[in-house]
A and B are shown apart, each in its own frame.
Chain A
Amino acid sequence: MTPSSTGCSTGCSNGPRGDRRNEPRMSRIGLTTALGAVLLLLAFVALLIGPVGLTSGQVVSALIGRGGEQASIVVWNIRLPRVAGACLVGAALASAGATYQALFRNPLVSPDILGVSAGAGLGAVAGIFLALPVALIQLSAFAGGLLAVALVMAVAAAVRGADRVLTLVLTGVVIGALAGAATSLLKVLADPYDQLPAITFWLLGSLASVTAADITPALPAVLIGLVPLILLRWRVNVLSMGDEEARALGVEAGRTRALAICAATLVTASVTAVAGVVGWVGLVIPHIARMLVGPGFGRLLPTSALIGAGYMLLVDTAARTIAPTEVPLGILTAVIGAPVFVWLLSSGRRGWT
């Protein structure tokens, strides 16, 4: 027989694993409806919670514009922007995470893999350091995130003859470390009483001071980023089989991947500019969504977005209630995300290494 017949690896396992039946996957409409209903319920509960005690009746009347003055101000000016912000951030990060994981064929990848977070962090820290107004700090964060990814893609394109995906990821690590070093330098130089706490808080992520004026520019940017991802949903599946195979199946892999990366980066940078660096969401949530609906991107994207929105809402509501002072989001998402991740890792799901 052929020489390779002696090297029988996983390819020829005929054991019980090969015969195991697929777990039933939930029906599409049923699951989406259920997740949407849970999200609405969570949002309503989040509107009830806060230092000013409001009954559900007061919240409902405030929402339909017939509430008392105080209730209306609390609901519309304080709680609703925050609830909407949390949903937007969670949905955006989870969608971007699902996209990056498919594009880089690696379930360990997260939205900050190409240096988006590090770049956005540097942009924001520079803005705080220069004592810019809030809107400009956000713009600077957004620009920093996009710039870092552009740099990563340019450097990776200049490296020839190597595995493209691996080159991109490694370049992302390098540029991220560089941005991190620059951020550290600014922290050292910053005013320790005024600027440093603001920088630290921003780098850990928070929605504490989010207003409708912050969300208004971020929302269209996120939606613009999501459109190509929704349109390319089938091609993203094919890309996750690898560049060469995708090309043999008729996909212009390089171009399609670049478009999807730009879209996911826009989504990530937009919400990072509003909420700061919030880790773990984009890494863990797509896994949970994949367990529910499988890896097909057409279902994975909306499911990730819904679960991400609900999860972020829960975390943000906890962040503003569990302690007398605000807890930074990044701390909570890490405390929850790390054990969940270890559990996912140890439950022996394939493709983790």
Chain B
Amino acid sequence: MRLEARGLAIGHGGQRIGEGLSLALGAQEVICLLGPNGCGKTTLFKTLLGLLPRLGGTLELDVRDIARLSRREIARAVACVPQAHTPPFPFEVLEVVLMGRTARIGAFGQPSRQDREIALDALERLGIAELAGRDYERLSGGQRQLVLIARALAQEAPLIVMDEPTASLDFGNRLVVLERIADLGRTRGVILSTHDPDQALALSARVLAMSGGRMLASGPAAEVLTPARLTQIYGVPLTVEETPSGRHVCLPDIGGARQKGIRCD
């Protein structure tokens, strides 16, 4: 399964907010989409999922135009992990995960015993089997995010789109979720957006850097995320340093920040 966009133009309500966007996502890879707030990351993801119509370019799922596919066909190929949210009703965790099976159930069908087993298995694989009978809305943000990832697993789609999966999580939960994403990348294709370039470095992911609705760069994290490029993306002086253990981390270039008169409050 391969999702490929070439020269994609995106936007909503007919208003174009990005163009010339090209990317390809296949199995066994993780792509990190980096970019400042409002650069069009979420709009791009919605377009990739076929939730928003594209305003130009091509978007194909295994060489088939995504605009011609039914919601069911798309959902069988691409799963979406939204940010941990609060639904209006207190569904059980297992019910939320079972919703991932919807594209595999007939229009008038109900989840079968087999669907239930697949959902329980997905929870097990994320190490949260004990949450199955709990109220989803009473879980912590980190647990909810893991449940939503389990739902994407239950969907059995080869490709997964995650919009800022770690945005509302505390430090520990971020690491847990990141680890699971790395696991997923061994079998499936994952594209995620994040505000944290360190995550791209930690995942050794391919990086797509976006700014102002355009693609600035794409390639392996270690190559793309140079101090100059990071500074260009985020508009503040940044640097990349190597830790004694040989890992790379992204840090603010404090001296430069002072020179540019940026307050650290």
Contact = CB atoms under 8 A, between A and B. Distances in A.
* A and B bind: yes
Interface string A219-241: 00000000000011111011011
Contacts of B111: 234
Interface residues of A, number: 50
Contacts of A11: 83-84, 141, 144, 168-169
A237 B90 contact: no
B71 A252 contact: yes
A1 interface: yes
Contacts of B109: 234
B103 A350 contact: no
A252 B70 contact: yes
Interface in B70-118: 70-72, 74-76, 79-80, 82-84, 86-92, 95, 99-100, 102-103, 105, 107-111
Given A3-B37, A295-B91, A18 B70 contact: no
Contacts of B102: 234-235, 238, 249-251
B37 A12 contact: no
A188 interface: no
B110 A12 contact: no
B110 A298 contact: yes
A12 B80 contact: no
Given A12-B170, A21-B134, A248 B80 contact: yes
Interface string A78-112: 00000000000000000000000010011100000
A10 B75 CA distance: 29
B66 to A, nearest CB: 13
B149 to A, nearest CB: 14
B91 A294 contact: yes
Contacts of B142: 12, 14
B23 to A, nearest CB: 19
B99 A237 contact: yes
24 contacts: A2-B195, A4-B164, A4-B195, A8-B170, A12-B140, A13-B141, A22-B134, A22-B138, A105-B87, A234-B102, A237-B91, A241-B99, A242-B87, A247-B71, A248-B75, A248-B79, A249-B103, A250-B74, A252-B70, A252-B72, A350-B86, A350-B90, A350-B137, A351-B86
Given A8-B170, A105-B88, 20 more contacts: A2-B166, A4-B167, A5-B167, A10-B86, A11-B169, A17-B138, A18-B139, A22-B133, A22-B135, A105-B87, A234-B105, A242-B87, A244-B51, A248-B82, A249-B100, A250-B75, A252-B72, A294-B91, A295-B89, A351-B86
Interface of A: 1-5, 7-14, 17-18, 20-22, 102, 105-107, 160-161, 231-235, 237-238, 240-242, 244-245, 247-253, 290, 294-296, 298, 350-351
Interface of B: 13, 37, 46, 49-51, 70-72, 74-76, 79-80, 82-84, 86-92, 95, 99-100, 102-103, 105, 107-111, 133-135, 137-144, 155, 164, 166-171, 173, 194-196
Across chains A and B, which 5 residue pairs bring their CB atoms closest together, nearest first?
Answer: A250-B103, A250-B75, A295-B89, A11-B141, A2-B195
